[in-house]
Amino acid sequence: MNKLPTSYYDAEFGQIISESNYWTLAQCAVLGDRCVPICVDFEQGRIGELSSLQRKAIGQALTLPSDVLHITAPVVLQNYDVYREMIGDESMPPLANPIQVWEQVTFSYIYVSPHIEYNLHIATFKLIAECDWEPEHGLEVRFRNGVADDADQIGETGE
C-alpha cells in the first residue's frame, strides 16, 4: 500500500505541507499587517505538480502590494453594502471610509484551485475569510491577475 506524501519541496515556493484537505505553503501572503496561509489543490492525481497558472497565482499572492487592503476595500465594501441594504441600516452602520470594512473581516487563507478543473484561463486565487455581516457563509474575494475583482459569499463568486 503506497502512503501518500505529507509534504514535498517545490523549487520555486519551498516546503508545501498536507494539512486537512489542502496543501499549505510554508510561506504566507502578507495582507496589511497579517500573514495569511496559502493553500493549493492539485489536479486530480497530480500531487506535487503545480500548473503554470497556479504558479503565477501563488506568485501574485506572495507579492501583493503593501496597500492591497486599501486597493481591495471597495470590492469588499460593495458586498457589505448589498447586505446592509437587505437587512436595513440599524444593525450595519454605513462606513465613513471603505478601509473600515476590514475591521469586520478575519482572514482564513488564500486558496489556489486546480485551474484546469475549474476551467480558469487567468491566474486566479481567492481570499477566504469570516465576516461579521454574514457569519454563516463568510466572505470570498476573488483575485484575477493579482487584482481583486469580485467579493461574495463563499461558493457564490463567479468563476
pLDDT (tens, 9 = 90+) of the chain, 159 residues, equals 456 678 889 999 999 998 877 899 999 999 999 999 999 987 776 777 898 999 999 999 999 999 999 999 999 999 999 988 888 767 788 888 999 999 999 999 999 988 766 667 899 999 999 999 988 999 999 999 999 999 998 866 544
The answer to whether 111 and 39 have CB atoms below 8 angstroms apart is yes
Cβ neighbours for 138, distance < 8 A, ≥ 6 positions apart: 108, 128, 129, 130, 131, 153, 154
Radius of gyration for the chain, computed over Cα atoms and rounded to the nearest angstrom = 17
Q: What is the DSSP string of the chain?
A: -PPPPSEEEETTTEEEEEETTEEEEEEEEEETTEEEEEEE-PSTT-TT---HHHHHHHHHHHT--TTHHHHHHHHHHHHHHHHHHHH-TTTSPPPSSGGGGGGGEEEEEEEE--TTTTT--S-EEEEEEEETT-TTT-EEEEEETTEEEEEESTTTS--
Tell me the pTM.
0.89
Q: What is the DSSP string of 73-89?
A: HHHHHHHHHHHHHHH-T
